[in-house]
């Protein structure tokens, strides 16, 4: 399969929360890419930082949050740095989110119909939308180049800062040698920043020239469109009025109606009217499987069942034609049959609209039917990531093994092995592998040092010292092995049949 475009990229994200007890280190250096059209599942126990990660993307973190590092790149913009206005546009427009509890994302005292049409009516200027569409590709190309440049320079700067601060911690202070070393590195950084800027600015300048040209053309096109529809409208109106002058009785009434229609028609060409927003809303309500949408349009959230409410929330997320859909445990509050229906709905919509999807859950059982790729999160870090097949058939991190052992058995519905112990207190996260004290595979080094990501394949990485060449060979738990064997057998039977 050809390499797909990256639509969203989270790099070295660090999120802390100020609390009376100290700083909660909720997200600790999280990086991942979301590819066009894929579903990336983020799994992990309660408190592992899944929601904080998705809220950081949506820009809806609590007030006591501190984003202490990293960036979130979407279409060449660092979402952590864009202006509020820009962010609002992206959030409302291109990235949609579905929450765990549908009630909390619906306004209880506003009719469903109004809630669904709201976002459409906010961005209702068709001429503006047309212009944005026309320049979008070139604008992204230009902004991506600038973002790449800034990220490269930032990353280098951070490396330098970390190096210097590590060095300064040394007992007895800096030696003359250290000072010279630092100076040299600072100079090297300066040179690097300069040459990176030169390299990218050349590219950026020519892309900007293309963009300016495109923008001119787009403006002209929009102007032409507006002039054309306005001229047509005027012509129609004067024709109708002329006929009205010679008409009387029912014919005149008919013409008056035509005139009204033409006025609405004209308005529709320039902006999205309430009527059109409603028509679209009803269409989307049908798409997400809400029966009798005309009747439902005028009802309040409390008149809907849990499953139907979640469908409404999905409908709202879809009205703005998002490119990315973030689903944060969208089925946890629902019972099992409804859960399956909502998952099916999300899968169908995702495919039909070619959305890129981040799907968050604590339940690996759900992941199997949804994910192209899986990121396993523990104590604010991604400890393993890979394709769905790699995580299910070739897991490497002891925490992933533990999660796999705890998936309820399909037949007995019982959890086979609960994960022993509890996640760490994130005010004092452990020094090394945070899972060490719950893992029977832990080695000395696990308590001392953070494991790096070891490469298992081009698409599969795990942060566990067990993958170090010096580590003793260990086998994954029997139960996990057994499950993999059974599901592989089932797969091959299915293929035979
Ligand atoms: N506003 C806040 N102030 C302090 N700590 C917070 C705040 N929000 C989240 N946290 C902490 O950040 C950590 C990660 O929380 P997060 O909500 O991301 O977990 P999660 O993985 O989504 O878990 P769950 O499966 O329960 O939804 C937790 O320790 C949580 O207590
Ligand atoms: Mg959560």
Q: What's the token pair of residue 399?
A: 């925490």
Residue 94 has pLDDT above 70, yes or no: yes
Pocket test for ligand 1, best of 51, 329, 426, 429 (most atoms within 8 A of CB): 51
- Residues 116-159: tens digit of each pLDDT: 998 888 878 889 889 988 988 888 788 878 878 888 888 888 88
Q: Where are the beta strands (DSSP E) in 212-351?
A: 324-328
- C-alpha angle with apex 141: 461 to 136, nearest 5 degrees? 115
Q: Say how far apart CA 123 and CA 126 lie, in whole Å.
A: 8
Please name the residue that has the structure tokens 């509020």.
84
- With bands split at pLDDT 50, 70 and 90, how would you rate the model's confidence at 197? very high
Q: Within 6 Å (CB) of ligand 1, which residues are found?
A: 17, 19, 24, 26, 44, 46-52, 62, 64, 362, 426
Residue 27 has pLDDT above 80, yes or no: yes
- Residues 246-267: tens digit of each pLDDT: 888 899 999 999 999 999 899 9
| Contact predicate 284/311, CB 8 Å | no
The ligand 1 atom at the shortest distance from the C-alpha of residue 426 is 29
The overall average pLDDT reported for the chain is 89
Q: Say how far apart CA 394 and CA 481 lie, in whole Å.
A: 9
- With bands split at pLDDT 50, 70 and 90, how would you rate the model's confidence at 4? confident
Please name the residue that has the structure tokens 């280098």.
156
Long-range contacts, 284-292 (Cβ 8 Å, 24+): 284/116, 284/315, 284/318, 284/319, 285/116, 285/311, 285/312, 285/315, 287/315, 287/318, 287/349, 288/312, 288/314, 288/315, 288/318, 288/345, 288/349, 289/341, 289/345, 290/315
> What is the side-by-side strand order in the sheet with 373-378?
95-98, 324-328, 356-361, 39-43, 373-378, 381-387, 460-462, 454-457
Q: Which letter, b or e, does each residue of 118-140 get, where b requires 16 or more Cβ atoms within 10 Å of its Cβ?
A: bbbbebbebeeeebeebbeebbb
Across residues 58-72, what is the average pLDDT? Answer: 91
Tell me how far the alpha carbon of residue 245 is from its chain's centroid: 59
Q: What's the token pair of residue 114?
A: 């109004």
Residue 380 has pLDDT above 70, yes or no: yes
Q: Say how far apart CA 420 and CA 438 lie, in whole Å.
A: 6
SS3 346: helix
- Residues 415-469: tens digit of each pLDDT: 566 788 889 999 999 999 999 999 999 999 999 999 999 999 999 999 999 999 9
The residue whose CA has the least distance to atom 1 of ligand 1 is: 62
Across residues 105-111, what is the average pLDDT? Answer: 89
Q: In the 8-state DSSP scheme, what is residue 334?
A: S
- Per-residue model confidence (pLDDT) at position 416: 60
Q: Say how far apart CA 448 and CA 351 lie, in whole Å.
A: 45
The residue whose CA has the least distance to atom 12 of ligand 1 is: 26
> What is the side-by-side strand order in the sheet with 22-35?
22-35, 6-19, 65-74, 77-78
- With bands split at pLDDT 50, 70 and 90, how would you rate the model's confidence at 89? low
Q: Say how far apart CA 14 and CA 37 lie, in whole Å.
A: 26
- CA separation (Å) from 366 to 142, 199, 332? 39, 46, 10
Among 82-91, 110-119, 286-295, 451-460, the minimum mean pLDDT is found in 82-91
The ligand 1 atom at the shortest distance from the C-alpha of residue 377 is 21
Q: For residue 97, how far is its CA from the centre of ligand 1 (angstroms)?
A: 17
Residues in the chain: 497
The residue whose CA has the least distance to atom 5 of ligand 1 is: 17
Residue 25 has pLDDT above 90, yes or no: yes
- With bands split at pLDDT 50, 70 and 90, how would you rate the model's confidence at 339? confident
Please name the residue that has the structure tokens 């599942």.
41
- Per-residue model confidence (pLDDT) at position 414: 53
Q: Say how far apart CA 119 and CA 130 lie, in whole Å.
A: 17
Nearest to 342 by CA among 296, 307, 303: 307
Long-range contacts, 389-395 (Cβ 8 Å, 24+): 390/456, 390/457, 390/459, 390/460, 391/367, 391/460, 392/368, 392/484, 392/487, 393/484, 393/487, 393/488, 394/456, 394/460, 395/476, 395/480
Q: Which residues contact 101 (CB under 8 A, 6 or more apart)?
A: 333
Residue 412 has pLDDT above 70, yes or no: no
Percent of the chain with pLDDT over 90: 60
Residue 311 has pLDDT above 80, yes or no: yes
The ligand 1 atom at the shortest distance from the C-alpha of residue 380 is 14
Residue 289 has pLDDT above 90, yes or no: yes
- Per-residue model confidence (pLDDT) at position 496: 65
Q: Say how far apart CA 152 and CA 167 lie, in whole Å.
A: 23
Pocket test for ligand 1, best of 16, 26, 67, 104 (most atoms within 8 A of CB): 26
The ligand 1 atom at the shortest distance from the C-alpha of residue 54 is 18
Among 165-169, 184-188, 235-239, 346-350, the minimum mean pLDDT is found in 165-169
The residue whose CA has the least distance to atom 6 of ligand 1 is: 17
Inter-axis angle of helices 176-246 and 126-168, nearest 10: 170
Q: Say how far apart CA 50 and CA 59 lie, in whole Å.
A: 14
- C-alpha angle with apex 42: 39 to 46, nearest 5 degrees? 150
Across residues 208-215, what is the average pLDDT? Answer: 95
Bridge partners of 408, per DSSP, are 415
- CA separation (Å) from 150 to 81, 86, 147, 165? 12, 19, 5, 22
In this structure, the dihedral spanned by the alpha carbons of residues 329, 334, 335 and 341, taken in order and rounded to 10 degrees, is -80
Of residues 424 and 87, more confidence is placed in 424
Residue 359, H or E segment: strand 356-361
Tell me how far the alpha carbon of residue 288 is from its chain's centroid: 20
């Amino acid at each position: 399969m050809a390499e797909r475009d990256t639509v969203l990229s989270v790099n070295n994200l660090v999120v802390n929360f100020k609390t009376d007890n100290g700083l909660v280190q909720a997200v600790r250096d999280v990086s991942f890419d979301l590819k066009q059209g894929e579903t990336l599942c983020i799994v992990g126990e309660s408190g592992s930082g899944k929601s904080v990660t998705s809220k950081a993307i949506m820009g809806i973190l609590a007030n006591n949050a501190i984003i202490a590092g990293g960036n979130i790149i979407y279409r060449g913009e660092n979402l952590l740095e864009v202006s509020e206005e820009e962010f609002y546009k992206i959030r409302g427009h291109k990235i949609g989110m579905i929450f765990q509890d549908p009630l909390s994302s619906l306004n209880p005292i506003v009719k469903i119909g109004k809630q669904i049409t709201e976002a459409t009516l906010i961005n209702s200027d068709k001429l503006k939308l047309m212009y944005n569409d026309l320049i979008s590709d070139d604008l992204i190309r230009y902004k991506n180049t600038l973002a790449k440049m800034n990220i490269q320079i930032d990353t280098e700067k951070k490396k330098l800062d970390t190096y210097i601060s590590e060095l300064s911690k040394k007992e007895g202070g800096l030696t003359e040698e250290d000072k010279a070393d630092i100076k040299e590195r600072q100079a090297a950084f300066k040179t690097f920043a300069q040459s990176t800027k030169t390299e990218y600015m050349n590219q950026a300048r020519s892309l900007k020239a293309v963009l300016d040209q495109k923008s001119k053309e787009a403006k002209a096109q929009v102007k032409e469109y507006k002039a054309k529809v306005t001229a047509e409208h005027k012509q129609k109106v004067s024709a109708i009025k002329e006929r009205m002058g010679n008409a009387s009785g029912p014919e005149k009434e008919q013409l008056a109606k035509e005139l009204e229609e033409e006025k609405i028609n004209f308005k529709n060409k320039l902006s999205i009217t309430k009527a059109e927003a409603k028509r679209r809303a009803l269409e989307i309500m049908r798409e997400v499987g809400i029966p009798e949408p005309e009747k439902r349009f005028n009802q309040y959230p409390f008149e809907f069942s849990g499953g139907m409410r979640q469908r409404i929330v999905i409908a709202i997320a879809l009205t703005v034609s998002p490119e990315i859909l973030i689903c944060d445990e969208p089925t946890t509050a629902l019972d099992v049959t409804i859960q399956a229906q909502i998952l099916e709905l999300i899968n169908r919509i995702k495919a039909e609209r070619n959305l890129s999807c981040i799907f968050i859950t604590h339940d690996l059982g759900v992941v199997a039917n949804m994910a192209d790729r899986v990121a396993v999160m523990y104590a604010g870090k991604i400890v393993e990531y890979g394709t769905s097949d790699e995580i299910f058939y070739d897991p490497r991190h002891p925490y992933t093994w533990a999660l796999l052992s705890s998936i309820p058995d399909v037949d007995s519905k019982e959890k086979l092995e609960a994960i022993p112990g509890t996640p760490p207190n994130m005010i004092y996260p452990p020094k090394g592998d945070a899972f060490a004290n719950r893992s029977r595979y832990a080695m000395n080094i696990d308590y001392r040092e953070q494991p790096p990501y070891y490469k298992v394949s081009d698409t599969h990485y795990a942060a566990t010292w067990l993958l170090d060449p010096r580590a003793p060979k260990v086998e994954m738990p029997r139960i996990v092995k057994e499950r993999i064997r059974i599901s592989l057998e089932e797969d091959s039977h299915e293929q035979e049949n």
